[in-house]
Amino acid sequence: MTASDIITIRGVCPHDCPDTCATLVDVRRADGQAIAFRGDPDHPITNGWLCAKVRPYLDRVYHPDRLLHPLRRVGPKGAGQWERISWDEALSAIAARWQAIIAEYGGAAILPYSYSGTLGLLQNVIAASRLMNRIGASGLERSICDAASNLALELTYGSKQSQDPRDVLHSKLIILWGHNPASTAPHFVPLLRAAQRKGAYVVVIDPRRTLTARSADEHIQPRPATDAALALGLMHVLFRDGLHNEAWLEEHTHGWRALRERAAEYPPQHVAAITSVPEETIVALARRWGTTTPALLKFADGVQRHGNGGQTVRALACLPAITGQVGVQGGGLAYSTSGYAAWDAAAIGHSDACPPTPRMVNMVRLGAALNGEVSDPPIKSLFVFNANPVASTPNSSLIIEGLLRDDLFTVVHELFLTDTARYADIVLPATSQLEQPDLHKAYGHRFLQYNAPAIAPRGEARSNWDTMRALAAAMGYTEPWLHQEPDEALREVLDASRANLPVLEGITLERLKAEGRVPLNFSAVPWVPFADFRFPTPSGKIELYSEQARTHGIDPLPCYTPPAEFSAQRDDTLVLLSGAAHHYVSSSLANIPKLMRLEGPPQIELNPSDAARFGICDGSDVRVENARGWCTLRAVVTTDVPPGVAVSPKGPWAQHSPDQRNVNWVTPDALADIAGQSTFHSNIVRVRPVASG
């Protein structure tokens, strides 16, 4: 084959990952087949390499299990009996059912459920908004992942800004707090290593010895959900020993004296008792933080998924301010870059031309909502796309109970017959990223990228936006913004957003399509977050004390409260953390045989002392249970987890386990202290060998 027989198309990895890699797809001209998928060297952050999970991506695109045409359920719900139907039949069946539901109960009885299958502007954000707004369907409170952080940062800093990842090369001290980039943000790791080689000291704070912790200079293992106490303990020492930057605090923060009083309640000895981190470790870290500049605190999402997640993030967010590290290159707080290109909400949703959203349903409470928590009207139809709630949303058995309701009409738009799609009344086939156009921002760097479709849709698969357009037509809606071509819709949102956002100055859709990836424009916006010391909070300063926090139901000052679920802790219970698996992205990719082999069977890591007292051997099956349910996991006995803590990576599909369950059969659907945040990790379980019955 010669070079001219192959065409190379620029794209973007669509998965829920901060890196948002630039990709290249080689397509054979003769038959339009993609024959290679690789990283694009022409991207300064993602640098031409892909992570282990996405490298075999063509195995996903050409997976023999891809859904290639619509299906209608013919047997009982969940029984796996289907008949093939045409798109026209599927669309008219859905529209007819929705119109009947709207006539009897109103649009509120229809609930869309979508999250992070792709993160694109068109196939995720726009597709999730316009049609459902037009219907007047229930809104979805998107709180499964990062809601507490977003609100806590808004309360404290007024806006969400984060460094270019390369700024870490300036850091002298890096604390990675509840963050495992070796698995979850792989392109940050070479930068971290380079900073370390230049002499930066890296501290990982995580109950588990993660891949990231192994190569840190120091690993601190607090008890789960005690991080707010640890942060306040560090502040205690900083204030006590005069390591705070008083002039800076006076000028740029609100309420530092009140915070000092609060921190006075957290002496190291007390904090050591709460966190199990030795007193001298707390004092040494505080001194290091207080005497090193630039000092960076980088956190991610895991640490907020506890009952006290909001106050935990508030406490972390205060630390860089105490020593005046905000606005310093290589210092400050790093979380997410997604706030810069804040897409224009009106252009996305056209809600001014739609009925008001009748109510919001919290996605974390899906099971409860389907089982009566939401009534008047009850949910009569669920439309799932870009998400796999049975595998990825807490308290899965309650969700299944809801999905089995005879009077619930469930439509799932998917690439595969996932644990959720199995319970649908109608399944619609979805395109993969290689088959659809989109525009992506990233949450781990500051580039915009265009994904050009590389191959034709497989079978009869349709993209989310094409499906929404077809459903809008079937419903009889004629508004032009429900029927735009993909580029038109993208251009509308990009142009409207640019009108208010200097970082989009000079960035047009044409330029994105021509260049593939374009850096956000920092000529009129500080490159280093908050280097202009403008904080859009009520006081115009960093709000260490936040009066607004009160309106969200929490103390205006950061504090430590154990999660409510922890009252169920007994001598014979463990706290089960279920963060990211190395080879999957949530449940996406967890059906690729190569990756399933690398990841191994669904596991639970147990400390040798816990394994011994519960009679569990390495490699044996363990029954994990609590009042919500149970699942079976394979024991990995390891000192990577401390006594009292167990770890089971999220992602495996229930249908691949002999017991047809996964870890979310036991995770809590309780909400955290703010923003309706999920609390996956505040999970108290019992474990026992399966053999004991």
The verdict on 17 binding ligand SF4 (CB under 6 A) reads: yes
Residue 380 CA to residue 256 CA, distance in Å, equals 50
**Cβ distance to Mo ion smaller for residue 145 or 411:** 145
What would the 3-class secondary structure string for 184-217 be? HCHHHHHHHHHHHHCCCEEEEECCCCCHHHHCCC
Compute the least distance from the CB of residue 586 to ligand SF4, in Å.
Answer: 11
Whether the CB-CB separation of 327 and 529 falls below 8 Å is answered with yes
The verdict on 579 binding ligand MGD (CB under 6 A) reads: yes
Whether the CB-CB separation of 501 and 523 falls below 8 Å is answered with no
Q: What are phi and psi of 638, to 5 degrees?
A: -155, 145
The interface mask with ligand MGD, positions 369-388, x = CB under 6 A, is: ----------------xxxx
Cis previous bond, 377, omega within 30 = yes
**Cβ distance to ligand MGD smaller for residue 211 or 525:** 211
Q: Which does 439 bind (CB under 5 to 8 A by kind): ligand MGD, ligand SF4, Mo ion, none?
A: none
H/E element holding 399?
helix 396-403
Compute the least distance from the CB of residue 183 to ligand SF4, in Å.
Answer: 10
Compute the least distance from the CB of residue 113 to Mo ion, in Å.
Answer: 15
The interface mask with ligand MGD, positions 515-544, x = CB under 6 A, is: ------------------------------
Whether the CB-CB separation of 537 and 543 falls below 8 Å is answered with yes
Q: What is the dihedral of CA 213, 216, 218, 222, to 10 degrees?
A: -20
Of 459-518, binders to ligand MGD (CB under 6 A) are 464
**Cβ distance to ligand MGD smaller for residue 521 or 678:** 678
Cis previous bond, 294, omega within 30 = yes
The verdict on 151 binding ligand MGD (CB under 6 A) reads: no
Angle, helix 268-275 to helix 279-291, in steps of 10 degrees? 120
The interface mask with ligand MGD, positions 11-40, x = CB under 6 A, is: -----xx-----------------------
DSSP string, 415-468: SS--TTGGG-SEEEEB--GGGS-EEE--SSSSEEEEE---SPPSTT-B-HHHHH
| Count of residues that bind ligand MGD according to CB under 6 A | 63
Residue span binding Mo ion (CB under 5 A) among the ranges 140-148, 464-472, 587-595, 617-625 = 140-148
The verdict on 424 binding ligand MGD (CB under 6 A) reads: no
Residue span binding ligand SF4 (CB under 6 A) among the ranges 14-22, 127-135, 240-248, 268-276 = 14-22
**Cβ distance to Mo ion smaller for residue 316 or 580:** 580
3-class SS of residue 353: helix
Residue 139 CA to residue 345 CA, distance in Å, equals 14
Compute the least distance from the CB of residue 71 to ligand SF4, in Å.
Answer: 29
Residue 193 CA to residue 179 CA, distance in Å, equals 16
Residue span binding ligand SF4 (CB under 6 A) among the ranges 17-25, 163-171, 218-226, 598-606 = 17-25
Count the Cβ atoms, other than its own, within 10 Å of residue 689: 16
The verdict on 123 binding ligand MGD (CB under 6 A) reads: yes
Residue 472 CA to residue 482 CA, distance in Å, equals 7
**Cβ distance to ligand SF4 smaller for residue 403 or 520:** 520
Residue 304, token pair as written in the block: 């907020």
**Cβ distance to ligand MGD smaller for residue 128 or 328:** 128
Q: Which does 219 bind (CB under 5 to 8 A by kind): ligand SF4, ligand MGD, Mo ion, none?
A: none
Of 525-584, binders to ligand SF4 (CB under 6 A) are none
Integer CA distances (angstroms), 50 to 45, 53, 57, 119, 503, in order:
11, 8, 10, 17, 27
Residue 437, token pair as written in the block: 């156009």
Which residue in the set 145, 151, 595, 675 belongs to the binding site for Mo ion (CB under 5 A)? 145
Residue 208 CA to residue 41 CA, distance in Å, equals 34
Q: Which of 5, 9, 3, 4 is nearest to 456 (CA)?
A: 9
The verdict on 183 binding ligand SF4 (CB under 6 A) reads: no
The verdict on 118 binding ligand SF4 (CB under 6 A) reads: no
Whose structure tokens read 């349910």? Answer: 629
Q: Is the dihedral of CA 299, 654, 683, 556 positive or negative?
A: positive
The verdict on 51 binding ligand SF4 (CB under 6 A) reads: yes
Which residue in the set 127, 132, 580, 585 belongs to the binding site for ligand SF4 (CB under 6 A)? 585
Compute the least distance from the CB of residue 653 to ligand MGD, in Å.
Answer: 9
Compute the least distance from the CB of residue 105 to ligand MGD, in Å.
Answer: 25
Antiparallel, parallel or unpaired: β 645-647 and 684-689: unpaired
Compute the least distance from the CB of residue 184 to ligand SF4, in Å.
Answer: 8
Position of minimal CB gap to ligand MGD? 302
The verdict on 453 binding ligand MGD (CB under 6 A) reads: no
The verdict on 282 binding ligand MGD (CB under 6 A) reads: no
The verdict on 19 binding ligand SF4 (CB under 6 A) reads: yes
Q: Which of 330, 1, 48, 368 is nearest to 175 (CA)?
A: 330
**Cβ distance to ligand MGD smaller for residue 176 or 195:** 176
Residue 81, token pair as written in the block: 């009996």
**Cβ distance to ligand SF4 smaller for residue 90 or 145:** 145
The verdict on 560 binding ligand MGD (CB under 6 A) reads: no
Q: Which amino acid is at 313?
A: V
The verdict on 50 binding ligand SF4 (CB under 6 A) reads: yes
Of 131-150, binders to ligand MGD (CB under 6 A) are 144-145
Q: Which does 343 bind (CB under 5 to 8 A by kind): ligand SF4, ligand MGD, Mo ion, none?
A: none
Count the Cβ atoms, other than its own, within 10 Å of residue 553: 10
Q: Which does 430 bind (CB under 5 to 8 A by kind): Mo ion, ligand SF4, ligand MGD, none?
A: ligand MGD
Whether the CB-CB separation of 380 and 98 falls below 8 Å is answered with no
Binding site for ligand SF4 (CB under 6 A): 13, 15, 17, 19-21, 50-51, 53-54, 186, 585
